[in-house]
Amino acid sequence: MKIALAQLNYHIGNFEANTKKIIDHIELARDKGADLVVFAELAICGYPPRDFLEFDEFISLCEEAAQEIARHCREIACIVGLPIKNDILQGKDLYNAAYFIENGNVKAIAKKALLPTYDVFDEYRYFEPATEFGCIEFKGKKIALTICEDLWNINDNPLYVSNPMDELIKEEPDVMINIAASPFSYTHDDARIKVLSDNAKKYHLPVFYVNQVGAQTEIIFDGGSLVFDADGEMKAEMKYFEEDLQVFDLSEIENVRNKYPKSERLTDIEQIHDALVLGIKDYFRKSGFSKAVLGLSGGIDSAVVCALACSALGAENVMAVLMPSKFSSDHSVQDAIDLVNNFGCMQEIIPIKEVAQAFDAVLAPAFKGLPFNLTEENIQARTRGTIVMAMSNKFGYILLNTSNKSECAVGYGTLYGDMCGAIGVIGDVYKTQVFELAKYINKDRELIPVNTIVKPPSAELRPDQKDSDSLPDYEVLDKILYHHIEEKQGSKSIIAKGFDEALVQRVLKLVNIAEFKRYQTPPILRVSPKAFGMGRRMPIVGKYLI
């Protein structure tokens, strides 16, 4: 039996485009000699559809699309994911399901049993878990078909009390097929490989796993579909961050070594770079926009975001707005101009000195001679925010936010100023990782000026200002933040690692009191195991750690 894995980029709710893409790849797989082609979890509607699932019309459109797909399944079978109705009154109204289609008809239905409700997942909000399981017979083989999380209950601390494969294995299947929508993080590929390999070893069956690729707002899917033999050895690893279709012979997976290629493994920074480029590209393409605007300060954050946007959209579609103030250094302006020249993107220079002075003059009577402080610094940042939003409104540009994760974490940013935007590009990238990204972008030639990389970071909102005036050294700060955010450790655990007690308590307090700011920021492209946004839900008025 020849099995094709179709790793595709879907668009949530775009039934016409998704259906056409699936049908086109059914025909491509048939032309390549496949007997069966496998598509991802909820491929028909796109993942995650979220509250679209609450509309009956949405579910009906999924079924109509599935029937159209079925009409094209001649001389080839397919597996495709979609939501279906639960006909039993008790329980949730839907199942997360997969159709097995053969000779134009739905021959079998597999339903997802293990419904993740953690981090970015919220499936139990919508779906009823499956309680009945059965293998699918095709071409003289028995297929154990599961959906994503159904294979993840295999570690030392299982999240669920049951395991679908423990039931399916009783029917003595010949192969496991798992369809998934497995979001990217730069640590997830290794975990994914281990889980699938462990399943192959435990049940002594080959595993065919297909993941989707592409970005859905803040969630990025990296592809990397996989095939394992019954000993748990990886036999094939499909492309990352690209659509791909490959055909595998089941008999060769069982008996032949090293026939199918594996993708070259990427470093964490390479993965983050490619994920962010894909995230920007899909946010614009799927939203129907093509041009971006951002404030370019001469600092490393905006430089990296500009570079990523030029890679994703083309430099001709990126507008960099330089907004020097009376505190901006000459070298910062020149660094920004040099970067624009290196990439060839559009640019405007709009000084903010007169605008900020106008605010100072208007507010002077109310401020009653009080000294310059954070208020005036924020006025400058909000002036810049107003200008880039004006450029967005006037020309139809989409504003890219340039705040990094370190700043977002401790609230080192101005609401309605440098924190505004439609999508946060590097809000899940720590400052130390931003420096690594800049060096990676410069791997072949100097695109980001070296001075931008080596100079001390500064918001330049007051004379001789440096980030280090307000924050610990980023090398230390980012380690504390990682332990707290990604590893979910409290102050005692972090202090026990050797960090200064007062510093840890200060940092964690900053993180928690900044929650009200993060609540109002744009969606942030997720590249880490724990990103700000729907994957990290904290109370704004909570007292813990403050």
Which residues belong to the active site?
A: 41, 112, 148
Using the CB atoms, write b or e for 85-122: b if 16+ within 10 Å.
ebeeeeebbbbbbbbbbbeeebbbbbbbbbbbeebbbb
- 300 is known to lie in a ligand binding site: yes
- 214 is known to lie in a ligand binding site: no
Instruction: Determine which helix (DSSP H) or strand (DSSP E) holds 56, and give its type and residue range.
Output: helix 56-71
* Residues 532, 536, 537, 541, CA torsion sign: negative
531/412 Cα distance (integer angstroms)? 17
Could you give phi then psi for residue 479, rounded to 5 degrees? -65, -45
539/516 Cα distance (integer angstroms)? 9
- 411 is known to lie in a ligand binding site: no
Answer for the pair 151, 195: CB distance below 8 angstroms, yes or no: yes
* Residues 226, 228, 232, 237, CA torsion sign: negative
Instruction: Determine which helix (DSSP H) or strand (DSSP E) holds 137, and give its type and residue range.
Output: strand 136-138
- 517 is known to lie in a ligand binding site: yes
- 299 is known to lie in a ligand binding site: yes
- 298 is known to lie in a ligand binding site: yes
- 162 is known to lie in a ligand binding site: no
Residue 429: which of 417, 441, 443 has the closest Cα?
Answer: 441
Residue 176 has which token pair? Answer: 């496991």
Q: Beta partners for 400?
A: 423
- 170 is known to lie in a ligand binding site: no
108/101 Cα distance (integer angstroms)? 7
- 301 is known to lie in a ligand binding site: yes
Answer for the pair 83, 50: CB distance below 8 angstroms, yes or no: no
Angle at which helices 353-367 and 374-395 pack, to 10 degrees? 130
- 402 is known to lie in a ligand binding site: yes
- 342 is known to lie in a ligand binding site: no
73/71 Cα distance (integer angstroms)? 6
Annotated binding-site positions for ATP = 295-302, 402
- Residue stretches of the annotated binding site for deamido-NAD(+): 378, 407, 517
- Which residues define the annotated binding site? 118, 182, 295-302, 378, 402, 407, 517
